[in-house]
Each structure stands twice: as structure tokens, then as C-alpha cells.
Structure 1
Amino acid sequence: MTSEKVEYEKGGWVKTGRYLMYVFNAIFFVFGSILFAFCLWIRFDPNIDNYVRNINFMVYWQAVITCMVGALIVMIASCIGCCSTYLWSKTLLIAYIATSVLAFSVNLGGAIYLLSIGLDSTGAYQYIQENFANLIYRYNYDITAKRSVDIIQETIHCCGGYSTGDWDAIHMPYPDSCRDKVTGNQFSYSCALMGASFLEFRTGWVSGIALCICFLQIFTMMFGCCIYKGINDRRKVYAYVYKE
């Protein structure tokens, strides 16, 4: 029985599963760090912050922060996973599986939410159109609206919410923020189009990394369950040997 125990410990699927757990969790920690850093950059980038705040598109922050929390849970789960594999601890392994399920749920939900609001083809485009057009209508008498419009148009090089015709609709000349400061040429694209494209690039990266982590986590949760079974079998072997 001792030889069977040694062969069990050295052989097969348990040893492979442990190595895979180390590799995958190291990858998860790196990916989680990248996702967390990217979300942090998006959240505190002055240009993005000005744009999101000025058009009152705060739901975008909610989605980004959700993915940021998911990335943090992934990093914590990775550390727990490596410790549980090294120590052969059932308690830590259960904690790892639980945190992995939580991270999977948060990242999947955050990515879906972000994709539903942050792409050019989603409701973001119409939302930006309406909000920006509303700011333009208040341009003459609302200093805050005027400042918001000028900042956005200068930052992302656009003019008008629906189109440049928004300025014609209120019988106003195009403001200086509608023109390139170097060439003096007027920007031809609407702020809804440029704004949606401005956010779409960042949305794609965040949701892509989050969904990639979710896909790979399915395999590590399977490895975790296999190692959990291996720990139980190992304890049964030890119990039988010591009994003899």
C-alpha cells in the first residue's frame, strides 16, 4: 500500500493539475493586474473624466468600477489558488473556488454591462446625442453647459451633438471650440459619433480582458475540483496506511 501511495502522489492527473493551477493562476494575476491598471487609468484619465462628467454619462463609471472590482477579486483568488495548491489545503481550495466563482460572475456581469452601454452600436450613441444637444441649447445662458460643450469639442475634435446643424438650429455661429486651433478648419464629425468611438476603444479592451479571464477561469475551477478530489483521495490513502 505504501508503494501505491507513493505512485499516487507522484503520478498522473493530480501532479499535472497542480502545475496547471500554478501556471493559470500566475497568468490570472498578470491579467488581473493589467485589467485593474487599465480600469484605473480610464477612471482617472482627465480627458475621459471630463467627457463622461460633462455629458452626465455616469453609468459608464459604474461598469468600469465593476470590472475593476472583478480584477481585484481575480488577483486575490490567484494568490489563494497558489497557496491552496502548495499546501494541499481543503479550506483554502474551497475559498479559491468560491472567490473564482465570484470573480467570474463580477467580471462577466461587468463586461456585459460595459458592452451594453459603451459601444457605438448601443444606446450610448443616442444618449450622447441627446445630452450633448441639450447642452448646446443651454450654451447661451448656462456657463456650466458652455464650458462642458467647449471642453468636449476641443478634447475629441467634434462639433455638435447630432451634427454641426445643431448650431444652425439655435441660430448661433460655430464656436471656436468647433475648429482646429492650428489649421482653423471646422471639425466635421458630431460629438456623439466621436464620443462613442472615443469610449468604444477603451470599452473593447476592458471587456475583452475581462471575458478572456472568465473563459480561462472555467478551466481552473475544473482543476480546483480535481485537486480537491485528489486531496480527499490522498487523505484516504494515508488513513488506510496508518490504520495498517
Structure 2
Amino acid sequence: MVKKINLKYALHTLNVISMVLAVVVMGLCLWLRYEWDFKHYVYELEAQKVLWTGPYILMASSALAMATVVIGIRATIVEHSQLLLLFVIGSVVSAILGLAGLAYTLNHGIYKSDLTPWLEERFFVLFHEMDYNERSARIIRIIQEDIECCGPSDWTDYQAFNKILPDECRNPSTGNIAGGGCAEEFARWMEPKTGWLSGIALLLVVIQLIGISIGLWLRKVILQDIRKDNNKSYHLVTRNGRENQV
């Protein structure tokens, strides 16, 4: 009995923590999806698949985690073995989705990942289009000014292709040229956002894995108690006062 109470308390605590972490992951994913400046950059760079796929997977994972937490809390309170099994299955699927979203986000959302070469290639396309495409020129100017970068790889790109160095490449206060290229600086600018999201998502997965093991353990204890109850002998009292053993 003491073991079951302790398991129930542990699982309930883990479920509460999982719910909080899932809400935080969902909130960060929604912020990355709908924050105005970032959304503008994503659309202009045509980077929806690269930068939003990971958060979309994590949104699905956190939504499933919230649903399984509700099931887990209910199953823990009523000691329902089938609900506990459903909780475990849902948590496993959610954890797998979380790991997939985490891996994709880290592989396409931080410095020194696949994001940097993709950005460099994309920025070079915009860089060569800026002489005749106003949209490409506008997004290059905006990113260079906001992120404080210059050129796809660095400021020498303008020199190498005989282009005039724009004012957006210079610091408005000092007049110094920004040293970093836009591909690397944009990836560095992205890293804290995706880094926090990935860290919290990883913590959620770890808590889920612990919850899965405790859920299976609790289910085993509950099933053992049910078998013990079923194996007990009950005595029925008949009308004549005699007891019949069942």
C-alpha cells in the first residue's frame, strides 16, 4: 500500500511538471511562429520549411503531452490500469515526436548547423537579385540593419562583385563596417530562441520517460492488487445461519 501511494504521488508530481513544460514549449513554438519580425524574415527568406518544421513537430508533441497528462492524472486518482496503459502509450508517442522535433530544430536552428550553409546560399541569391529585384534588395537591407551584418559571407562580397557598400552595413554611431556575414549572424541571432526551445523540449522528454517507467510500475502494482483481491475467499451467510465458503 505504501509503495502504491508513493508511486501515485511521484507520477502525479511528474504529470504536473510535464503539463507546465508542455505549455511552455507550446508557447515558445507559437511565439516563433507568429512573432511579427521573425515571421517577416521567414516569409521573405522563404524559409518556412527550414525554420518552422521543428516547432510544428514540437507543437504536436506538446499538445499530445498535455492530453496524456490529463489521462495520467485521472488514471492515477482512480487507479485504472487501462487508462494508465493509454497514458504510457500516449507518452511514448509524444516523447518520440518531441525527440524528432528537437533533432530537427537543433539541426536547422542554431549556428554551425545545416541552417548556416542554407542561409548563405539563400542570401547569395538575394544578393545577386538586389540590383533588379526591389523585394530582394529590401530584405537584404532590413536584415543587414537589424542583425548588424554585411553581405552573405562578409563585407568583401560587395567588393568581389563590384557592388557599392550600402549604408546598412555600417554602424550608425561609429560608421564601422559590420564584420560578420548575414548567414552566420542570422544563425547566431536564431540560436538563443531555438536553444531555449530545444532545452525545455529535451527536459520535457526526460520527464516523460521517467513518467512512463513509473506509470508502468504503478500499473503493475495495481494489477497485482486486483489479482490478490480476486484470489481472496469470501464467506456468504445463508438464511439458516451457516457459512458457505466461495
Does the TM-score normalized on the shorter chain lie above 0.5?
Answer: yes
Identity of aligned residues (%): 27
In the alignment, which residue of structure 2 is the partner of 1:159?
Answer: 150
> Does residue 1:14 correspond to 2:4, yes or no?
yes
Distance 2:172 2:114 in 1: 32
Question: Which amino acid is the alignment partner of residue 212 of structure 1?
Answer: L
Question: Which amino acid is the alignment partner of residue 46 of structure 2?
Answer: N
Confirm or deny: 8 A CA contact 2:53 2:104 kept in the other structure: no
How far off its partner does 1:188 sit?
Answer: 2.1
In the alignment, which residue of structure 2 is the partner of 1:34?
Answer: 24
> Does residue 1:48 correspond to 2:4, yes or no?
no
> Structure 1 length normalisation: TM-score?
0.90
Distance 1:228 1:27 in 2: 20
How far off its partner does 1:181 sit?
Answer: 3.9
Question: Which amino acid is the alignment partner of residue 143 of structure 2?
Answer: I
Question: Which amino acid is the alignment partner of residue 170 of structure 1?
Answer: F
Q: Higher helix fraction: Structure 1 or Structure 2?
A: 1
In the alignment, which residue of structure 2 is the partner of 1:87?
Answer: 78
> Structure 2 length normalisation: TM-score?
0.89
Confirm or deny: 8 A CA contact 1:136 1:146 kept in the other structure: yes
Alignment equivalent of 2:222, drawn from 231, 236, 243: 231
**Any residues of structure 2 matched to 1:66-77 within 5 Å, and which?**
66-77=57-68
In the alignment, which residue of structure 1 is the partner of 2:239?
Answer: none
Alignment equivalent of 1:109, drawn from 89, 100, 114: 100
Question: Which amino acid is the alignment partner of residue 43 of structure 2?
Answer: R
Distance 1:98 1:239 in 2: 27
Q: How many residues align?
A: 234
Over the aligned positions, Cα root-mean-square deviation in angstroms equals: 1.6
**Any residues of structure 2 matched to 1:145-184 within 5 Å, and which?**
145-184=136-175
How far off its partner does 1:178 sit?
Answer: 1.9
Distance 2:180 2:233 in 1: 78
In the alignment, which residue of structure 2 is the partner of 1:6?
Answer: none
Which shows bigger deviation, 21-30 or 210-219? 210-219
In the alignment, which residue of structure 2 is the partner of 1:128?
Answer: 119
Confirm or deny: 8 A CA contact 1:14 1:226 kept in the other structure: no
Which of the two has higher C-alpha Rg? 2
Distance 1:198 1:243 in 2: 71
Distance 2:152 2:99 in 1: 32
Question: Which amino acid is the alignment partner of residue 83 of structure 2?
Answer: L
Confirm or deny: 8 A CA contact 1:136 1:166 kept in the other structure: no
How far off its partner does 1:84 sit?
Answer: 0.6
Distance 1:164 1:243 in 2: 88
Question: Which amino acid is the alignment partner of residue 97 of structure 1?
Answer: V
Which shows bigger deviation, 179-188 or 207-216? 179-188
Which consecutive unaligned segments of at least 5 residues does structure 2 have?
236-246
